[in-house]
Amino acid sequence: MTELTDGTVLVTGAGSGIGAAIAHAVAVAGAAVAVNDIDPAAATATADAVTAGGGTAYPVPGDVADPATAGGVVTAARERLGGLTGLVNNVGVVRAAPLRSIDAAGWDAVMRIDCASALYCAQAALPALTGGGAVVNIASLCGIHPAPGAGAYNAAKAAVITLTQQMALEWGVDGIRVNAVAPGIVSGTNFSASSRDPAAAARRGHAVPLGRTGAAQDIAPVVVFLLSDAARYMTGQVLAVDGGLGVALQTLLPT
Ligand SMILES: NC(=O)c1ccc[n+]([C@@H]2O[C@H](COP(=O)([O-])OP(=O)(O)OC[C@H]3O[C@@H](n4cnc5c(N)ncnc54)[C@H](O)[C@@H]3O)[C@@H](O)[C@H]2O)c1
């Protein structure tokens, strides 16, 4: 049984897409949720929707790619929730730029938003999570099998996977579990032009063994599982939630 009864969970980047779906699923599983987003209106909209569905949710807006602001967001979440048993580092952006032309500022921004933000939030949450807390980092299949044209993003998501393993290694002794979820292609979010385009989803779904691209609601239950006691002996793991795309390499070969 996947239950988060009495849990208190902060989800970053939960104003839309996968993060919003995670906030809803966490609330349905019985936890109170703090909804972060850099866009305050989006954070409030998700928190209001969770509350309207019978859950308990509070907006905690702020830019978690800034270390001081990330600390403030975690503090606000702890205060509003009365504790913190779970942290979902979901924030992510993709900036299409080939490696031959990406500049230092562009590289640094992607690394900070897609990877360092997870460290900033987890460091701030460490005291609250000690003794039974759980962290779930949202990585990507791109961190395992890089996608063309998004070199900084792919490298940042690969770093999220190693960061997950390192956190698990260092913080197991504190009773904190740290795992990652690596979504494949998820449609219907604000992430990229192809994520927003139903025609792209239809085209791309043919390449996926399960015959369709994913939805945010396909990712959220796996995050709930990793936060829950059902995963109590799991740490340092990366679960691909990709409809089988990651094992489809040999389908590219001509017969
Ligand atoms: N959509 C996909 O195909 C896909 C695939 C694999 C992994 N992912 C990952 O899933 C996560 C969620 O992506 P999504 O598809 O829901 O995208 P999305 O753009 O719909 O949601 C991301 C949210 O994060 C917020 N955000 C961005 N920077 C922030 C910051 N610095 N501080 C606080 N909030 C910030 C945005 O305002 C937005 O609401 C990301 O980490 C992304 O890399 C997405």
User: Does residue 212 have a pLDDT over 60?
Assistant: yes
The pTM score is 0.98
**Is the CB of residue 42 below 6 angstroms from any atom belonging to ligand 1?**
yes
Nearest to 164 by CA among 139, 184, 130: 139
Beta bridge partners of 32: 8
For residue 89, the surrounding DSSP H or E stretch is: strand 86-89
Which of 195, 192, 201 has its CA nearest to residue 153? 192
Average pLDDT, the chain: 97
Q: Whose CA is nearest to atom 24 of ligand 1?
A: 13
- Does any ligand 1 atom lie closer than 6 A to the CB of residue 17? yes
Whether ligand 1 lies within 6 angstroms of the CB of 61 is answered as no
- Please report, as a single letter, which amino acid is at residue 161: I
Q: Which CATH number does the domain 8-244 belong to among 3.40.1830.10, 3.40.50.720, 3.40.50.1820, 3.40.50.620? A: 3.40.50.720
Is-catalytic flag, 153? yes
Smallest Cα–Cα separation from 226: which of 238, 209, 213, 214?
238
**Runs of H (alpha helix) within the chain:** 17-28, 40-52, 67-81, 104-111, 117-129, 151-171, 193-196, 198-205, 216-227
The residue ranges of every structural domain in the chain are: 8-244
Residue pLDDT, tens place only, 63-82: 999 999 999 999 999 999 99
